[in-house]
Amino acid sequence: MRLFKKLMAVVLSAVVLLGASAVNVKEVRAAAAPTGFKGVWISFLDIQNHLKGQAQAGFDANFTAMCDTVLANGGNAVIVHVRSHNDAIYPSNIYPWSTTMLNGNPGFDPLADMVSIAHAKGLQFHAWINPYGYRNGVVSGNPALATTANVVAGVQEILAKYPVDGIHFDDYFPPLGAAALNSMVSSVHNVCASAGKVFGISPQGNIENNRAMGADVDTWLSTPGYVDYIAPQIYWTDNYGAAGNVTMYSNRLTQWKALNKAGIPMYVGLALYRAGQPSTSDKGWGLSSANLATQVDKARNAGCTGYIIYRYDSLLLPTSQQEMANLKSRG
């Protein structure tokens, strides 16, 4: 706890400096979030299962196969974990080589290879970052690295070295408070806008949970200059609850649409990993194989311009095949 408090003090002091400098940054026209976005999250778990420990030839062959699977399922973008635990899947001047996703330095640059392979296949590549390495109440790796200054510098490093199509944050934020997190988010947005790249965040689907942790989705969706798109993880069906009669997905979607006062482009995060899985609390997953297709229909009717599937390995599950076939039929 003492170490965490020291870390927070360092972070907050860096936020003050960055916030002050951000005010003086000339506003740059943000890149437009792509429409018709059909992404797949490739998480550190997927990287562990398919890419970790591979020499370059095997790594490239396996990632090529992953891209082919995404394409076969109708996807047009991959959102790939490049920093998950205060480490990096590329040579960095800030973060150490990942031992979570790799076995340390592999002797080549995995990120360069992945971006090249994805682009050659016609897929967008968005670099997915857990900004502070914060997960399940703890900071991973070296806590001294978990500063806002490093978050911003780390994004600059990626954008300077790799032709990624955007930067993507997940839903894990330490309890720094809304002011601190907003300063960080705004600073990252400025960096991305200056490079002509999109920046988006995928928060939890429960709006109150975001507010409680300081993820100020109200401001991000009412004031330009924070995110180019938002991708809430709406991981419920419309047969939620013990009786299966709560339209939870539709309820959450309506809440997010109402919150979006500035008309920020919105994608919807979809829980493919739950497809075909019996659940006493959310019966819809076991009742239908068209949940995702129906959810995308509703999202499009609500003005959403894309979706993101969680996660890659779920595409390979037998229980997912009919769900994905139905979703792909929607175009």
Mean pLDDT for the stretch of residues 52-60: 98
CA–CA gap between residue 166 and residue 208 (Å, rounded): 27
Tally Cβ neighbours within 10 Å of residue 123. Answer: 22
DSSP codes of every residue in 36-88 = SEEEEEE-HHHHHHHTTT--HHHHHHHHHHHHHHHHHTT--EEEEEEESSS-B
* pLDDT number for residue 98: 98
Residue 297: beta bridge partners?
Answer: none
* pLDDT number for residue 94: 98
Mean pLDDT for the stretch of residues 225-236: 98
CA–CA gap between residue 143 and residue 36 (Å, rounded): 38
Give SS3 for 187.
helix
* pLDDT number for residue 28: 63
Query: C-alpha 87: how far from its chain's center?
Result: 16
The phi, psi pair for 130, rounded to 5°, reads -90, 100
With pLDDT > 90 as the criterion, what percentage of the chain qualifies? 91
30 pLDDT band (50/70/90 cuts)?
Answer: confident
- Residue among 88, 103, 56 at smallest CA distance from 161: 88
Mean pLDDT for the stretch of residues 153-182: 97
Architecture of domain 2-23+37-328: Alpha-Beta Barrel (3.20)
Mean pLDDT for the stretch of residues 82-94: 98
pTM of the model: 0.93
- Residue among 310, 320, 315 at smallest CA distance from 79: 310
Side chain identity at residue 251, one-letter code: N
Does 8 score more than 60 pLDDT? no
With pLDDT > 70 as the criterion, what percentage of the chain qualifies? 92
Q: What is the pLDDT of residues 108-149, one digit of tens each?
A: 999 999 999 999 999 999 999 999 999 999 999 999 999 999
pLDDT averaged over the chain? 93
26 pLDDT band (50/70/90 cuts)?
Answer: very low
* pLDDT number for residue 44: 98
Q: What is the pLDDT of residues 268-312, one digit of tens each?
A: 999 999 999 999 999 999 999 999 999 999 999 999 999 999 999
DSSP label at 234? -
Burial annotation 26-49 (CB, 10 A radius, 16+ → b, else e): eeeebbebbeebbbbbbbbbbbbe
* pLDDT number for residue 16: 37
Mean pLDDT for the stretch of residues 242-271: 98
DSSP label at 130? -
* Burial zone of 323 (CB within 10 Å; 0-12 exposed, 13-18 middle, 19+ buried): buried
